[in-house]
Structure 1
Amino acid sequence: MGMKTKFKRFFELDDEYAEEEVTKETYEEPQRQEQTYGEKKEKGNVVSLASVHQSSAAKMMLIEPHSYDEVQDIADHLKNRKAVVINLQRIHHDQAKRVVDFLSGTVYAIGGDIQKLGVNIFLCTPDNVDVTGSISEILTEDRQNF
């Protein structure tokens, strides 16, 4: 036993594994263990995507305000990351303009988007909702002419 080995054992630096002499004949390359689909691999920080998807399910609110006083509740839904469809057909034209102005500011502040869906109907979305496509305004112009 050499001085180095005695020193390691004294300070408990030596592993408790027996030292093996490695030669070309005894050396075997470790084989990679491939994980097949469905097998679970244990890791500390792995989160299942299924659980994330279920817990953050998107919600949409359909609201038909009767006065400007309800606009703050609509803004709260947007702040809580819910999409909102607003039907402004039952509100006076002046108040409807104020509602749209207020919600445009709210949507801008949270990084969302506002789109007109039809006559006095708007879709307000927070930044976590992507809307694709557009609705043509030609149909609404034709209806107003009749």
Structure 2
Amino acid sequence: MGSVRRASAWLGLVDEGGDERYYDEEYTDYPEAPQTTEAWVTDPRVQVAGETAEQQGRRIATVTPDGFRDARGLGELFRDGIPVIVNLTAMEPADAKRVVDFAAGLTFGLRGSIERVANRVFLLTPADYLVVSAEAAGRSADGFFNQS
């Protein structure tokens, strides 16, 4: 009965500080594991890849602003030399237009570029980045997507 009570307490189904009579007498408290400040990652390669990308400057930020007040955050990312994908699909059209105007001025002032990726989704790239478009260049008339 003690192990069922402990499992129920662990799942949050019963109060942990309740009746002590249900606990086994041989139950021992284990010392708590030391707390670390690092984020818990299931695959250690994920954290290493993230650190490597940050060291080499290979980062792209995605921003989904709720209103025009969030434009400052995307401006700070872009000013730091990070390409930014701005998703405006959740915004009102008037606020989305203001953010696009802000982003256009930002890219012009910092000699970057702005490109529409999809409906209400834009890519802001700093001056030292090149966006390669592979729409028609990689396809031939009898290519992979020809279903006839």
Q: Shorter chain as normaliser: what TM range?
A: 0.5 to 0.7
Gapped regions of structure 2 (runs ≥ 5) = 1-52, 137-148
Give the superposed CA RMSD: 2.0
TM-score for the superposition, normalised by structure 2? 0.53
- Distance 1:95-1:78 versus aligned 2 partners, 3 A rule: same
Moved over 6 A (4+): none
Residues 53-72 of structure 1: CA deviation (Å, up to 9, x unaligned): 98442210011100000001
* Aligned pairs for 1:29-44 within 5 A: none
- Deviation per CA, 1:59-110: give whole Å up to 9, x if none: 1001110000000110110000000001101000000000000010000111
Q: Which residue of 1 aligns with 2:7?
A: none
**What is the number of residues matched between the two proteins?**
84
In structure 1, the partner of 2:91 is: 91
**Corresponding residue for residue 115 of structure 1:** 115
Q: For the residues of structure 1 that align with 2:117 and 2:67, how far apart are their CA atoms?
A: 20
Gaps spanning 5+ residues in structure 1: where?
1-52, 137-146
Cα distance change on mapping 1:135 and 1:91 into 2, 3 Å: farther
Task: Confirm or deny: 8 A CA contact 1:117 1:135 kept in the other structure.
Answer: no
Q: Which residue of 2 aligns with 1:143?
A: none
Largest Rg, 1 or 2? 1
Distance (Å, rounded) in 1 between the aligned partners of 2:94 and 2:135: 24
Q: What is the rounded CA distance, in whole Å, between the counterparts of 2:54 and 2:98 in structure 1? A: 36
Aligned AA for 1:99? V
What are the equivalent positions in structure 2 for 1:1-146 lying under 5 Å apart? 55-133=55-133
Identity %: 23
Equivalent residues of 1:60, 1:85 under 8 A apart: yes
Q: Could you tell me which amino acid in structure 1 is paired with residue 59 of structure 2?
A: K
1:135 offset after TM fit, Å?
6.4
SS in 2 for 1:114: strand
Q: Which amino acid aligns with 1:60?
A: I
